[in-house]
């Protein structure tokens, strides 16, 4: 196993230097590369295939929920940004601006969308006339741009890919219900497709979306105990409807403003699953999104019949709906084992002359590194089952970590101790001053408000708690 060790050394130690481990893993498994402009990334085929799987799974859920896809323009007139006061304050410092086009200076600068509430609000204002047009529920898959000072591939880049859904309803109740329903859709998606447990809840005023009445988020705990905001939904009330004239004639003939909401997840989810499931050997990809779910490594490949048997096995697995690769390259089996372990392929099958003779195949689960022998004849059904077990195992492992690393704090010192390795549940009086002080004292922020537990006193000022909050250090 000398080769294996040599290989693993290419990646920094996950426990000693998690940030370097992350950088090593995303670059060396060819998920991503740095673009030529500071803060940009190139999503390479192995990374983009994960995104395609995320898109396919999530898009099907949106469509089943009755949401339609559309596409709105990239460039937004600067004047749109200023129509909603909080919105411009939040996003103006981060936008990239087109000032020249077609060889001329533009009369009005155009903003590269950081998010599309304004331009979609404008179009919805054009389209919505009557209560019969409501609800209007559209989504787009697109690129957005937020000029960030500190960037890291997938987690924070100046340009990223995402989906943003936008709905208008006739009443605030309906729009708020949709805000919670989409949060729930995200949570289910995270569990079933990314094998990722999340905490969900309302964001504090400080952490909410610029222009929203209320923002809800889902937060996942990474390997190092820090939190990653993995998806958000926003209830806008009539803020954007009023700014963009989204009005409808109600059944009684009166003219009313609609209520809007929006929701989004991004390529950040790829970063989330890497930092949730990865281990010392590299990536561990959840089967539902793994570009290659099963790799077949021939043993004694030059022996007659081995490669043919591997390909026949692959056909059987593909027929069962799996994404399969036979690694028939010239590299040694040991080299291949390391390569595909680092790339996080959920199940490896090893097939050599002796296995073939015995009607067996050796399977290894990437998550536990456990090996087992499977009947070659029944391999497709057994591998489908094994992949399901890997998905469940990954979820359980991450859920256990999250359970074990959430502590309750009564004091700032306890909070500080708790956020060094996980999340902290604590009371909060509701004042921004206390929220800021926690940030300063413990470099931790209020991730979401905990709707299930109640603490009596504010962890910071000791006054009566208005909410119980999950505090954590966050990416």
Under the criterion CB under 8 A, does residue 295 sit at the interface with its own copies? no
CA 156 to the chain's CA centroid? 12
- 3-state secondary structure (DSSP) of residue 368: coil
CB of 244 to its own copies, least distance (A): 10
- Which is it for strands 227-237 and 347-351: parallel, antiparallel or unpaired? unpaired
Of positions 8, 28, 147, 431, contacts its own copies by CB under 8 A: 147
- The site for its own copies, by CB under 8 A, has a size of 55
Q: Give DSSP secondary structure letters for 139-164.
A: EEEEEEE---SS-BTTTB-SEEEEEE
CB of 212 to its own copies, least distance (A): 22
Residue carrying structure tokens 């006193």 = 457
Strands (E), 267-411: 294-298, 324-326, 347-351, 360-365, 371-375, 406-409
Is 123 a residue that touches its own copies (CB under 8 A)?
yes
**Per CB under 8 A, which of residues 43..82 are in contact with its own copies?**
43-45, 48-49, 51-52, 68-77, 80
Closer CB to its own copies, 82 or 408, in the complex = 82
| 8 φ, ψ (degrees, to nearest 5) | -60, -30
SS (H, E, C) 192-230: HHHCCCCEEEECCCCCCCCCCCEEEEEEEECCCCCEEEE
- Extract the tokens encoding 171: 């009443």
Residue 101 makes contact with its own copies by CB under 8 A: yes
Q: Segment contacting its own copies (CB under 8 A): 97-105, 218-226, 331-339, 448-456?
A: 97-105
Which stretch in 103-111, 172-180, 275-283, 399-407 sits in contact with its own copies by CB under 8 A?
103-111
Q: Using the minimum distance from each CB to its own copies, give the nearer residue, 123 or 198.
A: 123
- Residue 219 to residue 205: CA distance in whole angstroms: 17
Q: Per-residue x/- mask for its own copies, residues 433 to 472, rule CB under 8 A? A: ----------------------------------------
Measured CA to CA, the distance from residue 312 to residue 447 in angstroms comes to 50
Instruction: Provide, rounded to whole angstroms, the least separation between the CB of residue 183 and its own copies.
Output: 23
Of 1, 60, 85, 97, the one binding its own copies by CB under 8 A: 97
Q: Is residue 85 near its own copies by the rule CB under 8 A? A: no
Does 35 interact with its own copies (rule: CB under 8 A)? yes
Q: Is 158 one of the binding residues for its own copies (CB under 8 A)?
A: yes
Could you tell me which of 8, 92, 5 has the C-alpha nearest to residue 279? Answer: 8
Q: How far is CA 431 from the centre of its chain?
A: 30
**Which residue, among 335, 366, 336, 337, has the nearest Cα to 3 in the 3D structure?**
335
Q: Establish how many alpha carbons lie within 13 A of residue 308's alpha carbon, considering only the half-sphere containing its beta carbon.
A: 3
Whose Cβ is closer to its own copies: residue 167's or residue 455's? Answer: 167
Task: Determine, following the binding rule CB under 8 A, whether residue 95 of this chain makes contact with its own copies.
Answer: yes
Phi, psi for 439 (deg, rounded to 5)? -60, -45
Per CB under 8 A, 399 contacts its own copies: no
Among 20, 143, 332, 372, binds its own copies (CB under 8 A): 143
Shortest Å distance, C-beta 157 to its own copies: 9
- 318 touches its own copies by CB under 8 A: no
119 binds its own copies (CB under 8 A): yes
Q: At what angle do helices 432-442 and 412-419 cross, to 10 degrees?
A: 50
Q: Which of 100, 253, 302, 452 binds its own copies (CB under 8 A)?
A: 100
Q: Could you say whether residue 112 binds its own copies (CB under 8 A)?
A: yes
State which residue, 110 or 326, has the beta carbon closest to its own copies. 110
Q: Is the peptide bond before 302 cis (omega within 30 degrees of 0)?
A: no
Q: Which is nearer to its own copies, 291 or 352 (CB)?
A: 291
Residues that bind its own copies (CB under 8 A): 33, 35-37, 40-45, 48-49, 51-52, 68-77, 80, 92-103, 109-110, 112, 119, 122-123, 126-127, 138, 142-143, 145, 147-149, 158-159, 161
């Amino acid at each position: 196993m000398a080769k294996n060790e040599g290989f693993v050394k290419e990646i920094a130690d996950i426990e000693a230097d998690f940030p370097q481990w992350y950088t090593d893993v995303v670059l060396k498994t060819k998920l991503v590369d740095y673009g030529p402009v500071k803060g940009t990334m190139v999503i390479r085929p192995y990374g983009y295939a994960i995104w395609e799987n995320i898109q396919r799974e999530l898009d099907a859920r949106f469509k089943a929920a009755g949401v339609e896809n559309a596409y709105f323009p990239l460039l937004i007139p600067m004047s749109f940004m200023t129509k909603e006061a909080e919105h411009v304050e939040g996003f103006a410092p981060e936008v990239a601006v087109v000032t020249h086009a077609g060889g001329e200076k533009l009369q009005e600068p155009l903003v590269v969308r950081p998010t599309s509430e304004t331009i979609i609000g404008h179009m919805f204002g054009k389209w919505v006339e009557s209560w019969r047009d409501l609800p209007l529920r559209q989504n787009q898959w697109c690129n957005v741009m937020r000029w960030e000072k500190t960037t890291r591939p997938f987690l924070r880049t100046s340009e990223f890919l995402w989906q943003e859904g936008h709905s208008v309803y006739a009443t605030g109740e309906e729009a708020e219900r949709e805000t919670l329903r989409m949060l729930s859709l995200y949570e289910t998606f995270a569990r079933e497709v990314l094998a990722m447990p999340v905490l969900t809840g309302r964001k504090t005023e400080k952490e909410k979306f610029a222009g929203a009445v209320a923002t809800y988020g889902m937060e996942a705990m990474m390997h190092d105990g820090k939190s990653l905001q993995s998806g958000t939904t926003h209830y806008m009330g009539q803020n954007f409807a009023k700014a963009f004239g989204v009005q409808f004639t109600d059944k009684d003939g009166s003219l009313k403003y609609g209520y809007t909401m929006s929701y989004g997840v991004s390529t950040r989810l790829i970063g989330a699953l890497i930092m949730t499931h990865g281990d010392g050997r590299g990536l561990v990809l959840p089967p539902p999104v793994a570009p290659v779910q099963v790799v077949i490594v021939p043993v004694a490949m030059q022996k007659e019949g081995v490669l043919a048997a591997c390909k026949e096995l692959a056909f059987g697995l593909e027929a069962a709906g799996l994404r399969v690769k036979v690694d028939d390259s010239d590299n040694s089996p040991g080299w291949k084992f390391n390569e595909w372990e680092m790339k996080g392929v959920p199940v490896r099958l090893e097939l050599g002359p002796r296995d073939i003779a015995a009607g067996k195949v050796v399977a290894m689960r990437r998550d536990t590194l456990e090996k087992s022998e499977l009947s070659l004849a029944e391999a497709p059904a057994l591998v489908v089952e094994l992949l399901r077990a890997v998905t469940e195992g990954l979820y359980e492992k991450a859920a256990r970590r999250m359970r074990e690393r959430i502590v309750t704090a009564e004091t700032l010192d306890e909070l500080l101790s708790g956020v060094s390795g996980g999340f902290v549940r604590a009371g909060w009086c509701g004042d921004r001053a206390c929220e800021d002080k926690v940030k300063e004292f413990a470099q931790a922020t209020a991730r979401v408000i905990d709707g299930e537990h109640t603490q009596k006193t504010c962890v910071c000022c000791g006054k009566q708690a208005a909410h119980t909050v999950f505090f954590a250090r966050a990416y």
